Amino acid sequence: MKDIILSARGLCKSYAHNGGQNHILNHIDLDIYKGDFTVVMGASGSGKSTLLYTMSGMDSATAGKVIYQGNTITEFKEDKLAKLRQGDFGFVFQQMHLVSNLSLFENVAVTGYLNKNIPGAEVGKRVKELLEKMGLTPMSKRLPSQVSGGEQQRAAIARAVVNRPDLLFADEPTGALNRKNTIEVLNLLTELNKEGQSILMVTHDMKAALRATRLLYLEDGKITGELTLPPYQPLEEKSRETQVDAWLSSMEW
């Protein structure tokens, strides 16, 4: 039995629309498990990003709650949420949002230095190790504009995990990348997950979805489907693709 890392109960998110309410998340009950690479799929506009932001405390819920380590974080004030997002959660987005006048090393290190619980020397050590693991050591002194999109995204992932978050949230992390860079980034996320990093990612990229150990389908504000998979193995990509494709067809994706 896996440990639950994050839960949603009766989670709702609505936006005012044409004088009425547009219900994007409609009483969602969902548990995210430790060690899983959970991927949420669904049609464009189905609310995947909304689910990720509401569950991570980046955005408020209209109703319902999100529970992390026994605490209802949907009731947290902004300063407490900020601490959570800085220390316990990591974030990767489609756009890397690296600081343009800082080197890759500095971009990753800043997040570590902001975390008062990690001594400075330890931050430097971690950043070096992470950049090495991500194949970025030779360009660690370069500015983001001096490296490829894939290298920028790998640096952004290093930044997201430097504080060793309990859960890494990823919103279309390969959305702005070409095929080669997409595979590099997916390999990195898969490796992190195999080392124990729990990941919650939303995507509409089938290649990205193949990396999941648990696939969820979001439709009409609800989780309407679920598929559990063993950890990704490159040699099994074809059969995995057939399985995920059949599942997505059954969801009328």
Ligand X SMILES: Nc1ncnc2c1ncn2[C@@H]1O[C@H](COP(=O)(O)OP(=O)(O)OP(=O)(O)O)[C@@H](O)[C@H]1O
Torsion angle in degrees (nearest 10) through CA of 54, 116, 124, 81 = 0
Site membership for ligand X, residue 44 (CB under 6 A):
yes
Which window, 39-47, 101-109, 137-145, 209-217, contacts ligand X (CB under 6 A)?
A: 39-47
For ligand X, which is the closer residue by CB, 59 or 132? Answer: 59
Residues 195 to 234 in contact with ligand X, rule: CB under 6 A: 204
Could you please report the per-residue DSSP string of 78-140?
HHHHHHHHHHTEEEE-SS----TTS-HHHHHHHHHHH-TTS-HHHHHHHHHHHHHHTT-GGGT
Site membership for ligand X, residue 50 (CB under 6 A):
yes
Contact 136, 155 (CB under 8 A): yes
Judge residue 120's burial from the number of C-beta atoms within 10 Å of its C-beta, 0-12 exposed, 13-18 middle, 19 or more buried.
Answer: exposed
CB of 107 to ligand X, least distance (A): 25
CB of 218 to ligand X, least distance (A): 7
Site membership for ligand X, residue 48 (CB under 6 A):
yes
Residues 155 to 174 in contact with ligand X, rule: CB under 6 A: none
Which window, 41-49, 134-142, 208-216, 222-230, contacts ligand X (CB under 6 A)?
A: 41-49
Judge residue 177's burial from the number of C-beta atoms within 10 Å of its C-beta, 0-12 exposed, 13-18 middle, 19 or more buried.
Answer: buried
For ligand X, which is the closer residue by CB, 53 or 68? Answer: 53
Strand partners, 90: 168
Contact 211, 189 (CB under 8 A): yes
For ligand X, which is the closer residue by CB, 110 or 248? Answer: 248
Among 28, 38, 39, 42, binds ligand X (CB under 6 A): 42
Among 4, 10, 15, 233, binds ligand X (CB under 6 A): 15
Query: Which positions touch ligand X (CB under 6 A)?
Result: 15, 24, 42, 44-50, 204
